[in-house]
Amino acid sequence: MKILILLAFFFSANAFSNSNAGVSNKAHNGITQASLDNGLEIIVKVDDRAPVFISQLWYKVGASNESRPNTGISHMLEHMMFKGTNKYRVGEFSRIIAKNGGDENAFTSKDYTAYYQKMHNSKLELAIKMEADRMRNLTFSGRELEKERQVVIEERRMRVEDNPNAKVFEQLRLISYGESGAYHAPVIGFQADIESYQLKDLRDWYETYYAPNNATLVVVGNVDPAQVVAYAKQYFSAYAFNPKISQLKDKPPIALTQQHKQLKLKAKLPLVTMAFHVPSLNSAQDKSQAYQLEMLSYVLDNGLSKTLIRDRQIASSIGVDYRLYDKYQTQFTISFIPAQGLENKTVINAIKQQVTELINKPELLTDEIRRTKAQLEANFVFEQDQISTQSYYLGMLETVGLGVDKMFEYVDKMNEVVSKDLSKAAKLFLDFEQMNQVELIPQAL
């Protein structure tokens, strides 16, 4: 596949040659990649369907780098990034981007923090210039921190405290992962930690992680890749390479098994989530196993929806989730809401039965796998409709250490999976004796 793509693409490594000293380039899969001497990675994908672009700056830091009493600090810092630099006072970043027609925001997750602007393509320089400015020049105001701390606590109340289902998934991570490793604490942080960060903690976090060699600039849209690289060089190259980045300690998750918890919450509907520790693509020794788990999640999701919701009507919703691209090992989860008046046990048994059948008679899955492959192939095209989806995959893959090629390998890798692989993967990983489980037991509102 790659060879044809290369032929198709008018960008070649030659287009940049070595005329741009200090910048190294490669281009394939329609993607231009470059890096600056200070370590900043640049990824550009041209999409000229409309005169717009999205520019994202991804930092390799997120909740998985944190520990108590600083859980949620990556997210808090994300909020503080809108609170002014030496050059732009509080709120001015957003005002200038808005005045120039931009749509901007940021997001924090377990393994990354990212900032973005979506704008008309005449505003490319502005977006890169302003994003570069706040990589290094943030002013930390105590007054702004106190206000923003309240905003984040309100965010936590809205997203988690007043949302029983979100509490279930927060609880699942708490019981599934040891406290001193990654993925235990919520991305937004524990409330006690949010209440206690000092300005110094945030500044230290910023100084440690916000460096060119810990970041990736991704631009997708109607832009000239050479121009993107030139602007990046102009605005980022003054920043020094931070040698401490490579000395940062990795903090992989600590997998706990056989953990069960019942949460009694004011709610109307029960919810059950069952989780199995599995490798992600990054952590897998045998990479094909990760794609098998990915296929298994699609096939089980479809299969369980058919049997439990449509046919037997013992569940009103069901979802199977696998996070192929997590930085570390991850969990494969099966979550459901039982039909009204049904015991959780009834549904759990039905799920076990279906998994057993899948293990014993993989040949029954052949059609389901064929249909899933057709959907994934089509999806690959559909997902290119939004420049934000394209840039998300590029930035995320680079940030977790997988590299952008994985985006283009995905469909081929999934096409390699056959029914027997699913049987093997299910047998190996879906061990109901070892699983972790959280049950929401509704209490009267």
Single-letter amino acid code for the residue at 377: E
d(CA 174, CA 163): 17
Find the binding residues for another protein in span 151-210 (CB under 8 A). Answer: 151-155, 157-158, 161-164
Q: Residue 418 in 3-state DSSP?
A: coil
Q: What string marks each residue from 271 to 310 as x (binds another protein by CB under 8 A) or -?
A: -------------------------------x---x---x
Which of the ranges 36-44, 227-235, 265-273, 343-351 carries the binding residues for another protein, by CB under 8 A?
265-273
Residue 49 in the binding site for another protein (CB under 8 A): yes
Which of 56, 85, 372, 437 forms a contact with another protein (CB under 8 A)? 372
Beta bridge partners of 438: 261, 273
Which of the ranges 100-108, 176-184, 225-233, 280-288 carries the binding residues for another protein, by CB under 8 A?
100-108
Which of the ranges 167-175, 283-291, 356-364, 383-391 carries the binding residues for another protein, by CB under 8 A?
383-391
Q: How far is the CB of 32 from another protein (least distance, A)?
A: 12
Q: How far is the CB of 13 from another protein (least distance, A)?
A: 16
Find the binding residues for another protein in span 56-95 (CB under 8 A). Answer: 82, 90-91, 94-95
Residue 441 in the binding site for another protein (CB under 8 A): no
Q: How far is the CB of 164 from another protein (least distance, A)?
A: 6
Nearer Cβ to another protein (51/243):
51
DSSP 102-155: -EEEEEE-SS-EEEEEEEEGGGHHHHHHHHHHHHH-B---HHHHHHHHHHHHHH
Which of 89, 244, 345, 370 forms a contact with another protein (CB under 8 A)? 370
Find the binding residues for another protein in span 123-142 (CB under 8 A). Answer: 123
Tell me how far CA of residue 390 lies from CA of 127, 137, 291, 303, 412, in angstroms: 18, 29, 20, 29, 18
Nearer Cβ to another protein (4/21):
4
Residue 268 in the binding site for another protein (CB under 8 A): yes
Provide the token pair at 162. Answer: 């007043």
Q: Are 52 and 221 in contact (CB under 8 A)?
A: yes
Q: How far is the CB of 389 from another protein (least distance, A)?
A: 9
Q: Residue 56 in 3-state DSSP?
A: strand
Which of the ranges 108-116, 344-352, 380-388, 423-431 carries the binding residues for another protein, by CB under 8 A?
380-388
Nearer Cβ to another protein (259/317):
317
Q: Are 431 and 425 in contact (CB under 8 A)?
A: no
Which of the ranges 47-55, 65-73, 397-405, 416-424 carries the binding residues for another protein, by CB under 8 A?
47-55
Nearer Cβ to another protein (39/84):
84
Q: Both ends of the chain: CA-CA distance in Å? A: 56
Which of the ranges 176-184, 283-291, 327-335, 364-372 carries the binding residues for another protein, by CB under 8 A?
364-372
d(CA 296, CA 288): 12
d(CA 398, CA 41): 9
DSSP 178-226: -TTSTTSS-TT--HHHHHH--HHHHHHHHHHH-SGGGEEEEEEES--HH
Q: Are 332 and 430 in contact (CB under 8 A)?
A: yes
Phi then psi dihedrals of residue 207, to 5 deg = -60, -35
Which of 316, 321, 357, 427 forms a contact with another protein (CB under 8 A)? 316
Nearer Cβ to another protein (31/172):
31
Q: How far is the CB of 181 from another protein (least distance, A)?
A: 29
d(CA 219, CA 68): 35
Residue 264 in the binding site for another protein (CB under 8 A): no
Which of 22, 101, 243, 403 forms a contact with another protein (CB under 8 A)? 101
Which of the ranges 15-23, 63-71, 200-208, 371-379 carries the binding residues for another protein, by CB under 8 A?
371-379
Provide the token pair at 239. Answer: 């920043």
Tell me how far CA of residue 12 lies from CA of 8, 29, 431, in angstroms: 10, 10, 48
Nearer Cβ to another protein (238/378):
378
